[in-house]
A and B are shown apart, each in its own frame.
Chain A
Amino acid sequence: MIVRRLGLLVSVILLFLPPVSVADDIIMTRSTLPFPEAMLALQQSISEHGYTVSRVQRIDIGLTGMGYKTDKYRIVFAGKIDEIRMMTEKSPQLAAYLPPKIAIFAEEGQTVLVTLNPELYAEIAGDAIDPVIFDRWTSDLRSIFDDVNKAN
């Protein structure tokens, strides 16, 4: 009896919890910090989450070098070697998308971050890779973006 009621209660509660966050295809956030500080916060949070920044590509330097005017625009590549290795082994298709990257660009005195939702990699990998790992990537990315959003 009690167990039954408990079950009912739990389902009622589930009804009132905020909906599980949608698998948006693109994850974005804004930092009110200027670009250099936001970049610092991003790289710091990436390492705190246990990932390695493997490269920062300076798109803006390339563009300005060719005579095109643009504000700061960089791409940050990050991952964990064991995971990337496992993934490209089990699902060679994924190599085209890895390591994951984050675009970070200046908007006046503030900064915008954009990345692809890793759930897309899960779709590509299909049964080859346990999707749990992509769920963790997604929640880590959201948490990293949250850190940058809240940094001040």
Chain B
Amino acid sequence: MRLIYLTILLLLSVQVIAAPDGRQLYVAHCSACHGDQGHGGVGVPLSLPSFLDSVDDRFLAVTIREGRPGRVMPSFPKLSDAQIAAIVGYIRSWSDKPAPRYSPVPVKGDAKNGGLLYAKHCASCHGENGEGGTGTGVTFSRRRELPIIAPALNNSGFLAAASDELIRQTLQLGRAGTPMGSFLEKGLGKQEIDDVVSFVRSFAQDRDDGTKTVAANKDKIIRLASSYSLQETVENLKDAIISQNFILIRTDLLEHGLVKEPDENPKQVILHFCNFRFLFDALAVDPRVGMFLPCRVTVTETDAGVFVSAINPEYMSHLFNNAELDQYCKEMHDVYVTIIEDATL
């Protein structure tokens, strides 16, 4: 009994003493997107000196906690404050300069004038309403409009994390090594820059994170009974796929490759099809969507009859936290429904 007690006490003390390991947490939660050394990828770079020198620890911590709704960057509600602090500490280790400190006091600017300046100097990259550039992060494997995509400025996560002074500093200095230049160098005066800061802050009043359109409560599956036999349904699907301008890639059995061919269940058929233009565009918006591509419908026959099913892309959409994908997923949903209805009715 005593021994158990002692062991537990020992375990307890180890748990209490061991501070969370920032590097380990970063590898587990961040490096897939931001790169093992913070060079970026699906996410923007985090290790550039111009970035680290211009953001305070609060900005990093709030960004991790709240994420960027609708802009791929997830929120991390389950990490403890200590864990988030450890991650921030690890990110800081990429710079030998101390973190800047910013006052929470709002800058005094004329948002109206700032709006005019914004339209002239910022909208081309950050979007007319601060919605950010198309796609996110850094482009390594695909062509994009910029080497680093301009973040959304009308985003609730960004606005919660960034103080006015941080935004002002970013505009004055720019972010060397990224497309974001210094607007002091580009000829804006200090007051004009404050005007732009006030305008960016005003996004907080009418922001739209795209989260409203996101459909977590949609059905996870599209599934219809077919009034035809399994074989007829498969043939109907092939015709429907082609008439929707998709290329049929392959038809095979669901169990193919998992078991020897004669043992495969012949009553579960998968049709894979694709529209390469669509696939290419969707991958540029979010390289993770390949997980659900190429397109696929599944035909099954059981005692209950013949059914055709597909994943519901509109449901999938919300898993990605990427508002830009919503439109692609809606399109995909409609294609699936049309193909399945054509083939089964």
Query: Are A52 and B257 also in contact (CB < 8 A) when A30-B31, A115-B291, A149-B27 are?
Result: yes
Asked whether any CB of chain A lies closer than 8 Å to the CB of B156, the reply is: no
Asked whether any CB of chain A lies closer than 8 Å to the CB of B46, the reply is: no
How distant is B35 from chain A, measured CB to nearest CB, in Å? Answer: 7
Choice from B140, B141, B258, B291 contacting A114 with Cβ under 8 Å: B291
Query: Are A99 and B294 also in contact (CB < 8 A) when A17-B15, A62-B249, A105-B287 are?
Result: no
Question: Is B291's CB under 8 angstroms from A116's CB?
Answer: yes
Asked whether any CB of chain A lies closer than 8 Å to the CB of B134, the reply is: no
Asked whether any CB of chain A lies closer than 8 Å to the CB of B320, the reply is: yes
Cα A13 to Cα B288 with chains together (Å): 38
Query: Are A73 and B290 also in contact (CB < 8 A) when A63-B276, A93-B221 are?
Result: yes
Asked whether any CB of chain B lies closer than 8 Å to the CB of A81, the reply is: yes
Cα A91 to Cα B343 with chains together (Å): 23
Cα A28 to Cα B290 with chains together (Å): 13
Contact with A along B232-267 (1 / 0, CB 8 A): 000000000000000001000011111100000100
Query: Are A112 and B259 also in contact (CB < 8 A) when A69-B143, A71-B141 are?
Result: no
Asked whether any CB of chain B lies closer than 8 Å to the CB of A107, the reply is: yes
Choice from A53, A95, A112 contacting B287 with Cβ under 8 Å: A112
Contact with B along A61-78 (1 / 0, CB 8 A): 011001011111101010
Q: Which chain B residues in 271-302 approach chain A with CB under 8 Å?
A: 272, 274, 276-277, 279-280, 283, 287-288, 290-291, 293-294, 296-298, 300, 302
Chain A interface, >50% SS class: mixed
Question: Is A107's CB under 8 angstroms from B280's CB?
Answer: no
Query: Are A85 and B141 also in contact (CB < 8 A) when A95-B309, A115-B291 are?
Result: no
Asked whether any CB of chain A lies closer than 8 Å to the CB of B307, the reply is: yes
Which of A10, A73, A112, A123 neighbours the largest number of chain B CB atoms within 10 Å of its CB? Answer: A112
Q: Which residues of A contact B (CB under 8 A)?
A: 2, 6, 9-10, 12-13, 16-19, 22, 24-26, 28-30, 32, 52-55, 57, 59, 62-63, 66, 68-73, 75, 77, 79-81, 84-85, 88, 92-93, 95-99, 101-103, 105-108, 110, 112-116, 120, 123-124, 149
Kindly list 20 other residue pairs between chains A and B, CB separation below 8 angstroms, not including A13-B8, A70-B280, A106-B141: A16-B12, A19-B78, A19-B79, A19-B80, A26-B288, A29-B31, A29-B32, A62-B294, A63-B276, A63-B280, A70-B142, A73-B141, A84-B255, A96-B296, A96-B310, A97-B311, A99-B254, A112-B287, A113-B32, A114-B290
